[in-house]
């Protein structure tokens, strides 16, 4: 098999599958002889929760770590949240057509990454769908009793589109083309995790697992030399199929993992569930049968954005894209026979059977 062959894994189901990155598997890292304190902290951010487990030299450092993570996340929210009326993002979204806006460093960096993924994904990932996500009930506006109709949708689509955004790299500016609402909901949690990780490293903390709303990044190891083990999220059980899916656990060592799922956030209209990912071609929530996408990447921001992109693309396009860009991804598709699992070659290469990894 070569790189172009995704692995249809539905038929190959051991009890449990594990991923151990090379560097952790070959024992390159030894625990430091120390008396590090285990600290577990958490809080709220971005409409969800965050948590972290870490080893710090002292309990005081643990305390400082909690504050450093919260500060890092608050900072992201203060720049990029549509729920904060004074955020740079909200001000941009409200600004008149033709106005230029100098963005804070982080906001600019996230937007630039979002736009490069928009380009690569041919617009499947599009950070300009704010009006639509809001109208469908996933933004700050109060929930509506009816979803947007065809005319509303067409109007909002006409104002959206990543190609309408002009970025002035030199002066870190972006132009509001008129009525365009930036929405970084598909990438900001991951960026927040990366920022939290940076804050911990600045405190001299190297061994940690940090998570925002199910998007995780792990670094270092525990004092006993074992890595941070994380079980991949599975979709909630419905009728049939899932029983055949074995768990996958990952040693999160210098690695991030993000999951996008069609069941995670949704609204219901007339008994039909609509997921919070919008198909930019139709302006409506995706309904392509992809239940869940998990992406492994060094950068949590990239893992987060790529998981959203693959979910929106749908099976065939997602597989082609993941193979082309060598993305380590796992996808579960809803089929009439239950869930079918697809692993990209890059993901499958990381997997080993439980026995081997021990």
Contacts with Mg ion, residue ranges (CB under 5 A): 186, 304, 307-308
**What's the CA gap between 197 and 140, in Å, rounded?**
28
User: Does 133 help bind ligand AMP (rule: CB under 6 A)?
Assistant: yes
With CB under 6 A as the contact rule, the residue among 17, 274, 276, 345 that binds ligand AMP is 276
Shortest Å distance, C-beta 8 to Mg ion = 25
Q: Tokens 């030199």 appear where?
A: 170
User: Does 148 help bind ligand AMP (rule: CB under 6 A)?
Assistant: no
CB 67 within 8 A of CB 142: no
User: Does 138 help bind ligand AMP (rule: CB under 6 A)?
Assistant: yes
Shortest Å distance, C-beta 295 to ligand AMP = 10
Helices (H) then strands (E): counts for the chain: 11, 20
**What's the CA gap between 158 and 160, in Å, rounded?**
6
**What's the CA gap between 203 and 210, in Å, rounded?**
14
Please identify, using beta-carbon distances, which residue of 24 and 277 lies nearer to ligand AMP. 277
CB 347 within 8 A of CB 15: no
User: Does 183 help bind ligand AMP (rule: CB under 6 A)?
Assistant: yes
Shortest Å distance, C-beta 91 to ligand AMP = 18
Shortest Å distance, C-beta 58 to ligand AMP = 35
Please identify, using beta-carbon distances, which residue of 128 and 308 lies nearer to Mg ion. 308
With CB under 6 A as the contact rule, the residue among 280, 290, 296, 347 that binds ligand AMP is 280
234's enclosing H/E stretch is none
How many residues lie near ligand AMP (CB under 6 A)?
19
Shortest Å distance, C-beta 215 to ligand AMP = 7
CB 309 within 8 A of CB 124: yes
Say how many C-beta atoms besides its own lie within 10 A of residue 242's C-beta: 15
User: Does 304 help bind ligand AMP (rule: CB under 6 A)?
Assistant: yes
Say how many C-beta atoms besides its own lie within 10 A of residue 268's C-beta: 9
Please identify, using beta-carbon distances, which residue of 19 and 114 lies nearer to Mg ion. 114
Within 236-275, the residues that bind ligand AMP by CB under 6 A are: 260
SS3 322: helix
63's enclosing H/E stretch is helix 59-80
| Residue 211 site contact among Mg ion, ligand AMP, none (CB < 5 to 8 Å, cut-off depends on kind) | none
Adjacency order of strands within the sheet including 229-231: 229-231, 247-251, 16-19, 351-353
Shortest Å distance, C-beta 187 to ligand AMP = 7
Please identify, using beta-carbon distances, which residue of 61 and 183 lies nearer to ligand AMP. 183
Phi–psi pair at 285, nearest 5 degrees = -55, 145
SS3 41: strand
| Residue 301 site contact among ligand AMP, Mg ion, none (CB < 5 to 8 Å, cut-off depends on kind) | none
With a CB cutoff of 8 Å and minimum separation 6, the contacts of 185 are: 133, 138, 276
Please identify, using beta-carbon distances, which residue of 56 and 290 lies nearer to ligand AMP. 290
With CB under 6 A as the contact rule, the residue among 180, 245, 252, 312 that binds ligand AMP is 312
User: Does 196 help bind ligand AMP (rule: CB under 6 A)?
Assistant: no
Shortest Å distance, C-beta 358 to ligand AMP = 33
Q: Tokens 């549509």 appear where?
A: 82
Which residue ranges make up the site for ligand AMP (CB under 6 A)?
125-127, 129, 133, 138, 183, 185-186, 260, 276-278, 280, 304, 307-308, 311-312
């Amino acid at each position: 098999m070569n790189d172009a062959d995704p692995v249809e894994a539905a038929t190959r189901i051991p009890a449990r599958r594990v991923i151990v990155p090379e560097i952790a598997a070959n024992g390159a890292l030894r625990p430091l002889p120390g008396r590090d304190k285990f600290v577990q902290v958490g809080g709220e951010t971005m409409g969800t929760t965050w948590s972290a487990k870490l080893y710090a030299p002292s309990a005081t450092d643990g305390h400082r770590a909690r504050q450093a993570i919260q500060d890092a996340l608050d900072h992201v929210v203060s720049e990029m949240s549509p729920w904060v009326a004074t955020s740079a993002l909200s001000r941009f979204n409200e600004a008149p057509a033709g106005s230029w806006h100098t963005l804070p460093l982080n906001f600019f960096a996230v937007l630039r990454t979002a736009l490069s993924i928009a380009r690569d994904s041919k617009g499947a990932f599009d950070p300009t769908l704010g009006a639509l996500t809001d109208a469908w009930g996933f933004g700050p506006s109060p929930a509506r009793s009816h979803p947007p109709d065809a005319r509303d949708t067409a109007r909002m689509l006409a104002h959206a589109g990543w190609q309408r955004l002009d970025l002035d790299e030199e002066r870190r500016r972006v132009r509001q083309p008129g009525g365009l609402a930036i929405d970084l909901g598909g990438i900001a949690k991951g960026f927040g995790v990366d920022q939290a990780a940076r804050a911990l490293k600045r405190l001299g903390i190297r061994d940690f697992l940090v998570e925002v709303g199910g998007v995780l990044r792990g670094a270092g190891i525990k004092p006993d030399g074992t890595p941070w083990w994380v079980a991949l999220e599975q979709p909630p059980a419905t009728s049939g199929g899932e029983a055949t899916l074995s768990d996958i656990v990952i040693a999160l060592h210098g690695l991030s993992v993000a999951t996008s799922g069609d069941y995670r956030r949704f609204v219901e209209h007339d008994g039909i569930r609509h997921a919070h990912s919008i198909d930019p071609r139709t302006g409506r929530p995706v309904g392509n049968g992809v239940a869940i996408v998990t992406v492994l990447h060094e950068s949590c921001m990239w893992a987060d954005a790529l998981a959203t992109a693959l979910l929106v693309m749908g099976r065939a396009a997602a597989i082609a894209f993941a193979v082309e860009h060598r993305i380590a991804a796992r996808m579960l598709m809803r089929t009439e026979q239950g869930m079918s699992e697809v692993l990209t070659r890059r993901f499958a290469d990381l997997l080993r059977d439980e026995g081997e990894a021990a």
